Structure 1
């Protein structure tokens, strides 16, 4: 009597979305019928029922038809794996039944097992099952797995396509109504072999950019099999049959290209050890750029021809893949960038190195016809620029501090300024020019907006630096004619060159630069005034009548003028004219405030002496190059009034004096008339006439009082004693 054998109810396959929720099969025992032959196959009772498999495939098809394009691949991979696990459990249950039956009935042989070769991810797996077929080529005698291993992808696909077509036809003819497990095994074999082909495609792409030479045959085979699959599965079937669903190998290939590019980019970054900071970042980016350039050269020269022979657009795909990988890596580096130098290295590399049309190095490498997305997201780029500007403000201020410290060290070392091209020279202007030009040029290479911002930063920093520099110099012990001349030259050079090089930007600096220049000019004049002021005190004295006391004064003026030869011509002329005006003004001040009053012959002698001095002063300054010829009439007019023997002509001399110097005041006229002692009535008449001339001159000049014609000022700065009116009335 036969012993009872274990029977399993139909194993119901679950939805692919719930692969873990397998129902535990209900187990029970039943007596074998007397009609059961000892040689009957024990696995027939262990297979899932036809109704269960129909429900599984029905649900699978419905869910597959409702999934989006990105979920289809995972869906069928999960379906294949689930079928494999389910059928393996069925096979294990069948094997248990066989063993129990074999133990109960000695001599009963187990059913034959037919191997089925399965490839998953490029490796082959063997599985056994009753009634399974060998996936072998009928023409070449090779299985699909062997063809995949040998990378005969198109032949493998053609055989697999034949098996798929045959399986679909058998399913349509209801061949598997009595054997749903057999259909599931064969469908699983087809799916797993498709997965093996996809894995081999990924492996070929991953090896393409390696150190070995490009396998052009493998790439051509890859392109042809992808196009063949697209032609075989142009669209999802209307009935939702998962066997005929497109495998999307082109998408697999593009994903593999992107993964390969990311691996190459990260490997290039990992191979660039070096110093930290901006230098290390620059070296890393240089290594990255070189690796990307080398890989794209290889793609263009070796990979693209192999693909293009099969009509496959490899260049654009690799270009987009590397662009995306570089963008991802650069965004990661941007998160860790610190300091002005590192931020600029990133911005400069993105804008000028990678963004350059010469990045790929050869004319035959062109960018994609489709525009690539920005290397850095707009928000990331804006953040980098903002951080860079903040650090730049601090850096430029620090650079100006360093320039001031260098100048102070030269002052402390009592270093005389150099003479370059005939002018006193200080490195100040060169340092400022280099500082501004360097940062503006660097910013302009990135963007016009950043260049304009950098110019504004430099303008503000230089405007704050000038007063500090001026104050520090005037408080130092280095104040001398050469150093003052060098600083005047530096300010003049900055004013002219910066305005010419950056028009429309540094206009606001013109006023502080001119103010600093004027300050240095005044300090230069003050040194001369302090030196010659005592020499004016001997004028208009009895010793002056008999001695040439003016010559020592003019010698000092000539010595001072030699320093002006090394000053910028425009500023030197201004300073020389100011010295000329100072000498004439101080001479007249001594005449109008005489220490001794001359009468008779002494007055006539003093008039002649003044004429000679005026001639000497005019000749000296003319020889030095002074263009202030308007000063030449002042001393001679006063000398003529002082020495005029015909008193009625004094009015004519006054008219000449007032016409030439409209800034003269009533007090000055009184002081001049007091030198002659003409009498009260004549003095009052001359004074009234002079006042009418002064009023007319004031109206002509557009002012209500005394003024200087053409900006010339002479008498206005001469102080006269307040007792002159009393002197006039007492005469």
Structure 2
């Protein structure tokens, strides 16, 4: 055979022309294993780019041949070289029949006896025909290998396979029995895998696998174990290429679904399971799992899981710094994208697989797990109030709702009852706790803003309070109830327990806010005696009363602590009202009932009338108070006037009998004026009416027994009156000391008598004067 001739092998338009070395220096028996093709270490992959695919094929063939490429023949030159190829075929077929054993006793093989163009055989050093160079074993082996792998007959067989003439892996003989065809070469099988003709590729891989295991059983490779391992590795690499292609198809099934490819994928997995159903692991196991099941169904599930995870991670995420609602927007994108995928899975992908694959269940479980992991990674960040609520609301309502997994078009394939909670219990509880802590800070911040807004818009701008139906009012109550209502309602959409916790937090923050607000307002009133202080005070009293009633009716809140805080604030407002009143009335009280004023009754009348006039002026703002606050305030002012009057009336003074009678008469008259004035203002404190007349009658009475009766009545009607008060009153009557003592000794109260409430106190608020008497 001419050594300068080149044999041509065309693969995908590329023609390899390996040359035969003229003077091989290695013998088949010694150096054959050393010159074999390097193992295919890198698994086949699906090549998307055309250049990458061609480059991969060139490398693949280079690794198969183990020799340097010295020339190329393009597809366009193929027709012109057919004649030369035929001549080479005749020469090669002649050499094929020549016996060139590498070892003594080795069997003689012809082209018809060859089962497959194996990679390992192709990679071995070539041998020359012994007729051309007698006595040179390596040359003989070289010629036999060249004739076996690069004969035109083999080439034509490959051409026929690529053209689709060998689409089936078996034929029928005359008796109708199936005849197993010889498997294709490794490169041809690889081409089928690249073309996604996986069923045909698998049939040929099985042929190679069965043949290799059969040859191993007859101990063909007992003396050349490396050759066996090389061929086993070739089979494993082909299986790996199919595995890679399965993964690639699954990854593309939701973007570029091919119905035929997906259908063949399900059939392929079933066929592999059937083919290896009875496979048993060998001891020791075959290299790279040869002859064992490939677990492609599990591979398919893993591919689905990875594909789904990638799709979840590809959902757009807005920049956090650019949009405060970035997380809510991202969750909206997630719902839309995954929802479309699920509809596509039910509508088309599911139909491509057998029912036992449960495609919808596998995809839904994979999406469920991927979304859960994705949300947990998001929750690792420090999220703000609205971001935490967005996750809570999405998990509690959107995820299982009709806009997502509960979509009517996904039923009945998507079974929500089979899904575990989207977030683990500990993660869900932590999310709720973080939300509650954030809610606490949010509510406190909003309440502080309410106070700040009230200070700026009302106190600093000096805007008059709104008069609604003759009642001063403020937006404070409405703002607070709206704030609590919004947070409570939002939390209630997630869970009842979260609603209760949010309401509890709201009340706790409100209990801290109300005293803080009252203190800020009263301090503002102290700085400047502003004419709007009283209207503001009235409006805030109305506001807090309305707040108390609103919390009870809307939120069913009856918190004793909160009620006490509101009551204390209302009392503080009353005290401040009286503090504003005292500087204007105290000078007038000091002028009444003095000896100089008693002489000029007109002046005395003028003093009490001035006091009542001031009271009326101040109390006009109280007319804009809601009930019962209006009456409570008027009653308080009424008690204040009576208390101050009695304080001045029981001060020690010496008077003649005639002056005592005049003083008694004037006190009764002024008591009547006070009672009528406050009744007109709306006071219903009738229990205050007898207080001044009792004192007036005791001072003006001459008979001791009647004095005793008046003292007894006063003692019984006013439980808080003390003997010191009675003693001061009796001293105004001019009674001797021993007579006063005898009257006081008759006064006593049961020890078990219940103490009176603060609203009925009078004399307890009056300091008894010190009486100095020498007789």
Q: Which TM-score tier does this pair reach, normalised by the shorter chain? A: 0.7 to 0.9
| Aligned equivalents of 1:7, 1:482: Cα separation in 2 | 117
Q: Are residue 614 (structure 1) and residue 671 (structure 2) matched?
A: yes
Q: Distance in 2 between matches of 1:267 and 1:481?
A: 63
Residues in 2 aligned to 1:216 and 1:691: alpha-carbon distance in whole angstroms = 114
The residue that corresponds to 1:121 in the other structure is none
- Residue 715 (structure 1) shift: 1.8
Q: How many aligned positions are there?
A: 646
Structure 2 equivalent of residue 407 of structure 1: 454
Provide the C-alpha distance between the structure 1 equivalents of 2:120 and 2:210, rounded to a whole number of angstroms.
28
Superposition pairs of residues 236-315 of structure 1, within 5 angstroms: 236-237=279-280, 239=282, 242-269=289-316, 272=318, 276=322, 278-307=324-353, 310-315=355-360
Q: Which SS does the other structure have where 2:316 is aligned?
A: helix
Q: CA deviation at 1:523?
A: 0.5
Distance in 2 (CA, whole Å) between partners of 1:18 and 1:39 is 28
**CA-CA distance at 1:372 after TM superposition:** 4.0
Cα 1:573–1:223, aligned 2, differ >3 Å: closer, same or farther?
farther
Q: 5+ residue gaps in structure 2?
A: 1-21, 43-93, 108-115, 153-157, 173-180
In the alignment, the residues of structure 2 paired with residue 197 and residue 486 of structure 1 have an alpha-carbon distance, to the nearest angstrom, of 82
| Aligned residue number for residue 480 of structure 1 | 533
Tell me the CA shift for residue 257 of structure 1: 1.0
Shift of the alpha carbon at 1:449?
6.7
Are the equivalent residues in 2 in contact too, given 1:577–1:626 (CA < 8 A)?
yes
**Residue 234 of structure 1: CA displacement?**
2.7
- 1:385-400 aligned within 5 A: 395-400=442-447
- Partner of 2:149 in structure 1? 113
Shift of 1:350: 3.9
Q: For 1:491, which of 544, 549, 555 is the aligned residue?
A: 544
TM superposition shift of 1:319: 0.9
Alignment-derived partner of residue 221 in structure 1: 264
Which residue of 59, 67, 92 corresponds with 2:123?
Answer: 92
Counterparts of 1:144 and 1:475 in 2: how far apart (Å)?
92
Alignment partner, residue 250 of structure 2: 205
Q: Which residue of 2 aligns with 1:74?
A: none
Work out whether residues 274 and 283 of structure 1, in 8 Å CA contact, stay in contact via their aligned partners in 2: no
Contact 2:39 2:230 (C-alpha < 8 Å) held by counterparts: no
Could you tell me the TM-score, scaled by structure 2's length?
0.69
Report if the CA contact (8 A) 1:347-1:446 is conserved. yes
- For residues 577 and 234 of structure 1, do their structure 2 counterparts lie closer, same or farther at Cα, with a shift above 3 Å needed? farther
Q: Which moved more, 1:405-414 or 1:425-434?
A: 425-434
Within 5 Å, which residues of 2 pair with 1:399-478? 399-409=446-456, 410-420=458-468, 422-442=470-490, 458=506, 461-476=509-524, 477=528
Q: 1:675 to 1:112 in 2, by over 3 A?
A: same
The question of 1:699 aligning with 2:751 is answered: yes
2:719 pairs with 1:688: no
Change (3 A) 1:700 1:268: closer
RMSD: 4.8
Return the offset for 1:138.
4.3
TM normalised by structure 1 equals 0.73
Quote the residue 2:764 is aligned against: 716
After superposition, what is the alpha-carbon deviation per residue over 1:482-517, rounded to whole angstroms, capped at 9, x for unaligned? 111223233334445446666789654444443333
Match of 1:331 among 376, 380, 386: 376
Q: How does 1:641-660 map to 2 (within 5 A)?
A: 641-644=698-701, 647-660=704-717
Indicate whether 1:574 and 2:574 are aligned: no
Cα-to-partner distance string for 1:593-639 (whole Å, 9 max, x where unaligned): 38784643x54454344333333333333343323221122122223
Q: Deviation at 1:314?
A: 0.7
Contact residue 339 and residue 404 of structure 2 kept, 8 A: yes
| 3-state SS of paired residue (1:94) | coil
Measure, in 2, the Cα distance between the counterparts of 1:170 and 1:709.
Answer: 111
CA contact (8 A) 1:417 1:482 kept: yes
Deviation of residue 560 (structure 1)? 3.4
Instruction: Answer yes or no: is the 8 Å Cα contact 1:440–1:451 preserved in 2.
Output: yes
When structure 1 is superposed on structure 2, of 392-401 and 244-253 the one drifting more is 392-401
1:205, distance to aligned residue in structure 2 (A):
2.0
Separation (CA, whole Å) in 1 of partners of 2:577 and 2:298:
81
Change (3 A) 1:43 1:584: farther
| Residues 629 and 275 of structure 1, relative CA distance in 2, 3 Å threshold | same
Query: Structure 2: how far apart are the matches of 1:371 and 1:45?
Result: 66
Query: Counterparts of 1:23-34 in structure 2 under 5 Å?
Result: none
Deviation at 1:543, TM superposition (A): 6.7
- Alpha-carbon spacing, 1:422–1:292, altered in 2? closer, same or farther (3 Å): farther
Rounded Cα–Cα distance in structure 2 between residues aligned with 1:417 and 1:493: 16
1:317 Cα shift? 0.7
Change in CA separation of 1:233 and 1:578 when aligned onto 2, cut-off 3 Å? same
- By how many angstroms is 1:298 displaced? 1.9
Determine if contact 2:471/2:626 at 8 Å carries over to the other structure.
yes
3-state SS of 2:624 partner: coil
1:351 Cα deviation after fit: 4.3
User: Measured at CA, do residues 4 and 203 of structure 1 come closer, stay the same or move farther in structure 2, by a change above 3 Å?
Assistant: closer
Q: Are residues 93 and 593 of structure 1, via their aligned partners in 2, closer, same or farther at CA, if it must alter by over 3 Å?
A: same
1:521 is aligned to 574
Displacement of 1:518? 1.9
